[in-house]
Chains A and B, each alone.
Chain A
Amino acid sequence: MTLREFMVQRQPALCERWLDLLLADYGEETAANWRRERDPFANPIGHTFTTEAPRLVEAVSGDGKFDTVAAAALEAIIKIRSVQELAPSRAIAFVYMLRDVIRGELGTELARGAHATALATVDRRIERLALLAFDVYVRCREQVFRLRQDELKRSVASLLRRWHGSELPEPASEEVVHLSPPPNHAVRR
């Protein structure tokens, strides 16, 4: 079996290990809560993590869909972590942890340097993912600050309109290009 086949076959186990590490950031009690509750609205974070993690594992195990699928999945997770009380390094560290996860789960299969070339490819993808994670994180943080500015402007909008006439410029945040495209429905009428 190739490394990719192993990764596909053991994907649930890989994701479980990875989620353990990801959720460990939040302490035991919260990690347990976020694993237990299945309702996506009662537990949006647990739901997001469990839905997106397999997509990222899938992406690094290699099927050519790296950019779109991985980017959307990554954005979903990092957006959440960008407004939690995590240092930037910690907010994106989970991407790097995937390397340990693969080595831990597939220890026997990778023993004595087996699949070294394939593993190198996977590692390179993880590194790309980490770079991408950095972009997404910074973009989210920039948006937080833009939102603060927008809100201040809106809070005195009727005064600003009187000074500037009705041609008030649109808030900056509306021009933000989102990494993942907005859902199709949003533009459909």
Chain B
Amino acid sequence: MSEDLKPDQLEYYKQESLLKVDYRPPATDWMQTPTAMRPGAFIYSAKPKNIEYIDFPNARNWAPIDEDWKLPTNWKEIVIQGIRERLDKYRSFKVFMDICVRCGACADKCHFYIGGGDPKNMPVLRAELLRSIYRNDFTTAGKLLGRMVGARPLTIDVIKEWFFYFYQCTECRRCSVFCPYGIDTAEITMMARELLHLLGIGVNWIMEPVASCYRTGNHLGIQPHGLKDTLEFFAEDIEEVTGVKVEVPMNKKGAEVLFVTPSGDFLADPGTYTAMGYMALFHEIGLDYTFSTYASEGGNFGLFTSADMMKRLNSKIYAEAKRLGVKWIMGGECGHMWRVLHQYMDTMNGPADFLEVPVSPMTGTRFEHARSTKMIHIAEFTADLIKHGKLKLDPSRNDCRRVTFHDSCNPSRAMGMLEEPRYVLKNVCRNFFEMPPNTIREQTFCCGGGAGLGTDENMEMRLRGGLPRGNAVRHVQEKHGVNQLAACCAIDRATLTTVCDFWAPGVKVTGITELVANALVMKGEGDRKLNFRKEPMRGEEDGHV
């Protein structure tokens, strides 16, 4: 338009070309839509030292934005052979490749699609990225008719596209809840990631924890003396705010219970306060338990890598239980740990015949459902304590907290633990509010940072993926004044803090056991003015400030 026209001149408004820019993306078929590696949406590649440490192939320096990913020359054969082996090994994989009718029921159920709108984040399309190769090389129709039946040949661009989109799936399984055939896209993602690892393609945020866990027993690489120091430091903090000195049992042979929790709880806020909560609770009830430095990780980033890696990391838990001679195992507030324990551990590294069926020494309750794995969740254990009146609780201490509960994907969808956390929460705080029904329980929305996506270089992707959850939190914040989100998962405690800061500022994240410990009236305690965060226990209105 002419530069010298002014908005108060009539001619100015006749410039219909003003901002006549077409902002629309080209309408291409998905197979023709190229994948651009966009910052904020991919995770940095695995460092060679981490790949070497666990004997994975093709350790090298490379970056997703590089043109050349330095793949082995026979990369194509490796992938096709990898698919063949997995089709033979996993019947579910074969079935999931064959039976999708593309009904679309799953299409708008993924948080990454809901928050970003990229069609390739629709679960059905995510699966097609791999299925199209399966059709091309493993089905007669695909071999004959190619594109017409949704088949396409394997190229380097396909590999890059897999990397981009299978690391935009948190393996949360929300989509599978809506699929009439029960197709589990998370398992398809697992297969795709395994195939990528055959070529040495992985992300550092996963492979570093995997290598660390393999070396030191936990994802964060905390060494035995470091872990002991950390827990002793927690004990000092607990004593400072409660006046009660708690023990720090480490590698204690003959203890009744081995306690395993995600290592995130040892280092990262707000998980640290939940870890203090475990210690205070176990002290109060006099549980004969022990931490282990060898099995110092409840989480298992092997699950996000490959079935074999998951098995290697998981084996430490039973090995340590055997070495220490405990009777049974209790797990802390971790998310994906429970998919591993509930769905794979028993057949993978069990049966743990050398252990006993978990029986609560306080209530005598026998946890029959864990008679094979010999491992129970702390929320089940605590709920049972409360049900039997074994805890002296003062829920009014949590009155300044208006709490909602986020069902972590794995404890809810993979384990079915829906009631126990709620039962515990309702007994330790008096202001509890549910988020809308289509955002909780089986239909819960992922935090957007699970399955090894919880790093910071992909923050935009995580915030998009966290939008549906953040939106529901914002809703209960506006409607009920909710200011605390409780979650029984270490990844959640890290990532949802960020999600809430962005989408529902003012809502803080907490673990369940932190709230239990607030309300727990301990023998010999002093005036509980402060909570473990060293904030006024009853909020700032009670004159303690």
Q: Which residues of chain A have a CB within 8 Å of any CB of chain B?
A: 21, 24-30, 33-34, 37, 39-45, 79-80, 83-85, 90, 93, 96-97, 99-100, 103, 110, 113, 116-117, 119-120, 123-124, 143-144, 147-148, 150-152, 154-159, 161-162, 166, 173-174, 176, 178, 182-183, 185-189
Contacts and interface: CB of A to CB of B under 8 A. Distances in A.
Nearest to A188: B481
Given A24-B24, A25-B23, A37-B108, A84 B16 contact: no
Contacts of A158: 230, 233-234, 266-269, 272
Contacts of A85: 38, 40-41, 116, 118, 460
Nearest to B457: A148
B114 interface: yes
A144 B13 contact: no
A110 B13 contact: yes
Nearest to A178: B505
Interface in B69-120: 107-108, 113-119
A157 B269 contact: yes
B368 interface: no
A185 B477 contact: yes
A9 B187 CA distance: 52
B501 A41 contact: no
Interface residues on B, range: 35 or more
B10 A189 contact: no
B199 interface: no
B539 interface: yes
A154 B497 contact: yes
A155 B119 contact: no
A39 B445 CA distance: 15
Nearest to A115: B13
A165 B266 CA distance: 17
Contact of A166 (B41, B506, B534): B534
A147 B8 CA distance: 44
Contacts of B113: 30
Interface stretch (B60-68, B375-383, B464-472, B515-523): B464-472
28 contacts: A25-B23, A25-B25, A27-B27, A29-B119, A30-B113, A33-B108, A34-B117, A41-B438, A79-B503, A83-B115, A83-B463, A84-B116, A84-B464, A100-B16, A103-B16, A113-B13, A120-B7, A144-B502, A147-B459, A148-B456, A150-B501, A157-B269, A158-B266, A158-B268, A176-B505, A183-B481, A187-B506, A189-B402
A41 B460 CA distance: 20
Contacts of A21: 23
Contact of B18 (A99, A124, A154): A99
A157 B38 CA distance: 30
A152 B21 contact: no
Contact of B114 (A45, A83, A100, A176): A45
Minimum-distance CB pairs A-B, first 8: A185-B481, A157-B269, A26-B117, A44-B471, A30-B117, A148-B456, A183-B478, A83-B463
Interface in B349-387: none
A144 B118 contact: no
B475 interface: yes
Nearest to B6: A120
A148 to B, nearest CB: 4
B501 A80 contact: no
B494 A151 contact: yes
A41 B230 contact: no
Contacts of A96: 19
A100 B17 CA distance: 9
A162 B226 CA distance: 12
B7 A124 contact: yes
Interface in B530-545: 534, 539, 541
Given A30-B117, A144-B459, A182 B23 contact: no
B25 A152 contact: no
B108 to A, nearest CB: 5
Contact of B460 (A44, A83, A154): A83
A188 B506 CA distance: 12
Contacts of A154: 268-270, 494, 497
Given A34-B117, A158-B230, A27 B439 contact: no
Interface in B414-452: 436, 438-439
Contact of B501 (A44, A147, A187): A147
Contacts of A24: 23-24
Interface string B110-154: 000111111100000000000000000000000000000000000
Contacts of A124: 7
B479 interface: yes
B211 interface: no
B471 to A, nearest CB: 4
Nearest to A97: B19
A27 B25 contact: yes
A157 B272 contact: yes
B477 A123 contact: no
B480 interface: yes
A176 B481 CA distance: 20
Contacts of A40: 471, 475
Contacts of B118: 30, 85
Given A148-B459, A151-B456, A185-B481, A143 B19 contact: no
Interface string B491-510: 00010011001110111000
A41 B474 CA distance: 11
Interface centre among A24, A83, A147 (most CB of B within 10 A): A83
B206 interface: no
Contacts of B233: 158, 161-162
A45 B467 contact: yes
Contact of A151 (B41, B119, B498): B498
Contacts of A29: 119
A44 B439 CA distance: 12
Contacts of A188: 481
B314 interface: no
B483 interface: yes
Contacts of A28: 27
B335 to A, nearest CB: 16
